[in-house]
Chain A
Amino acid sequence: MSVFTEFHIPYGDLVVDPQAAAPMLGYDGDMPEDILTMVREVVDETTGCYDIRGGYMIFDSVAIHQDEHTLSLGGSTFHINKIITRQLRHSTQIAVFVCTAGVGIEQWSRKMLADNDPLKGFIADIMGGVVVELAIDRIQQQLSEAVNVAGLKITNRYSPGYCGWHTSEQHPLFALLPTTLGIRLTESALMQPIKSVSGIIGIGADVRFNPYSCGLCDATQCVYRNKRK
């Protein structure tokens, strides 16, 4: 087991593309100019709202039970379902990660909603999600580079709540980490701040990264499907 590797990512280090909001706003292609202008305004106004932190910890002792669709890690057993079990099956190590964009963007979004500016609030909510995904992309890249040194590769990241992995297992997952960087779990396993992500990444010599992972999932009506190509 390694130590917790922590990152503090300045917002300015991320390349935030306002067009990234287009799919979640319902557009197949680029947004019309007037709507794009509003998204740019929100992006500019919320620059100071972020406090982006994240990190991971690698666990060496891993047991993946393909028949039971479970993962044993750090003394806990996770019911990760069939899809994730399959994707992790060749993993010899597992990285447990957390990442948050901070509470500021969520507060800004809620203020806009309360001040009767639902579109700005909605855009901020979407962009908060975009930012935390960009941040965890960067952390995942750092993890990939770190394990590459030893000739290892990584899988996609998988989170409770997706691919049939129950959100309640967020509790034992968090319990594995020495710090969750201020991210708290509610009784029903919601993360606070809301713009946070957590999950696992498989590591091994024979694991594979799928550039497009939505096709693996059986949630065909998921709103995020096809949005994160």
Chain B
Amino acid sequence: MSTLIEQIALCVENGKVNMASPYPPQMKGQPGSDELTKQALEENVLPDDILNKALVVAMNKVGQKYSENKIFVPQMLLSAKAMAASMNHLKPFFQSGEVKRKGTVIMGTVMGDLHDIGKNLCCMMIEGAGWEVIDLGVDVKPETFIAELDHHPNAIVGLSALLTTTMVNMGVIITSIREKYPNTKVAIGGAPVNYDFAKQINADAYSKNPQDMIVWLEKEVA
């Protein structure tokens, strides 16, 4: 019989949120990450283990499968929903400091651009990998990133853009950030950008997909 940790991980990997959720069809009528996380905490499973041995492991598998085109956006979002249901029970432990996250990532779609779907997906996956994510939304100006860095000076910044006409704003934002925070690491992503463009604007990384960003965070920063 699998442990609660394994069951939670399985629910997150398959997007099983709670008992009432009909998805995935093969898990219909079974408890989801919501009930199982509650049960695990009641049975004194360490919240840190729930985060790192269930949620992070499961979301890593989800990200890997997505980057290999084995699953698509809907399955990833259902996993994110299952992860969030579990995270909801862990919130008090984050607040008390009993569970520590790997670090903070400030995310935003650059000024002039309103496209946030890719950025939102990235935020969910990064949170699932054990990071605190501060999502500044869309049309974010340099001063907004800097104001957030004032609160979280060790944070890493992720910039997103979808349009060729707005990706140039990434360079403007990076320049502004580095004037005040020269050591802040910045990753960029979005349809029109690539590795060469990242180098050109002095970004530290280019992420083709959420999993790319997570791998970079783990390798370079964590």
A and B are partners in one complex rather than unrelated chains = yes
Binding site for B on A (CB under 8 A): 25-27, 31, 34-35, 38, 113, 116-119, 122, 125, 160-162, 164-168, 186, 188-191, 194, 219, 221-223
Determine if B99 is an interface residue (Cβ-Cβ < 8 Å).
no
B192 and A38 form a contact (CB under 8 A): no
Tell me the chain B residues, 80-120 only, with Cβ under 8 Å from chain A.
80-81, 84-85, 88, 111-114, 117-118, 120
8 Å CB contact of B139 from A25, A27, A190: A190
In the assembled complex, the CB of B144 is this many whole angstroms from the nearest CB of chain A, namely 12
In the assembled complex, the CB of B52 is this many whole angstroms from the nearest CB of chain A, namely 21
A34 and B139 form a contact (CB under 8 A): no
B114 and A25 form a contact (CB under 8 A): no
B191 and A223 form a contact (CB under 8 A): yes
8 Å CB contact of B192 from A113, A125, A191, A222: A222
In the assembled complex, the CB of B49 is this many whole angstroms from the nearest CB of chain A, namely 23
Task: Type the 1/0 row for B180-212, where 1 means its CB is closer than 8 Å to any CB of A.
Answer: 000000000001101000000000000000000
**Overall SS of chain B's interface:** loop
A165 and B139 form a contact (CB under 8 A): no
B112 and A221 form a contact (CB under 8 A): no
A38 and B74 form a contact (CB under 8 A): yes
Residues of chain B within 8 A (CB-CB) of A31 are: 74
Report the tally of A-B residue pairs with Cβ distances under 8 A: 74
8 Å CB contact of A219 from B78, B84, B111, B191: B191
**Overall SS of chain A's interface:** loop
B72 and A25 form a contact (CB under 8 A): yes
B80 and A186 form a contact (CB under 8 A): no
Contacts A25-B73, A34-B24, A113-B120: A118 and B80 contacting too (C-beta < 8 A)? yes
A-B CB proximity, top 6 nearest: A26-B72, A119-B77, A188-B112, A118-B77, A190-B114, A26-B73
Chain B residue at smallest Cβ distance from A222? B191
Determine if B162 is an interface residue (Cβ-Cβ < 8 Å).
yes
A116 and B84 form a contact (CB under 8 A): yes
Chain B residue at smallest Cβ distance from A21? B74
Tell me the bound Cα distance from A92 to B85 in angstroms: 58
Q: Which of B111, B112, B166 has the most CB of A within 10 A?
A: B112
* CB-defined A-B contacts under 8 Å, sample of 9: A34-B25, A122-B77, A161-B166, A168-B112, A188-B139, A219-B192, A221-B191, A222-B162, A222-B192
A116 and B81 form a contact (CB under 8 A): yes
Residues of chain B within 8 A (CB-CB) of A116 are: 81, 84-85, 88
Residues of chain B within 8 A (CB-CB) of A162 are: 163
Residues of chain B within 8 A (CB-CB) of A38 are: 23, 74
B81 and A118 form a contact (CB under 8 A): yes
Given contacts A25-B73, A118-B80, 14 further A-B contacts (CB under 8 A): A25-B72, A34-B24, A117-B81, A119-B77, A119-B81, A122-B73, A122-B74, A122-B117, A122-B120, A167-B163, A188-B139, A190-B113, A222-B191, A223-B162
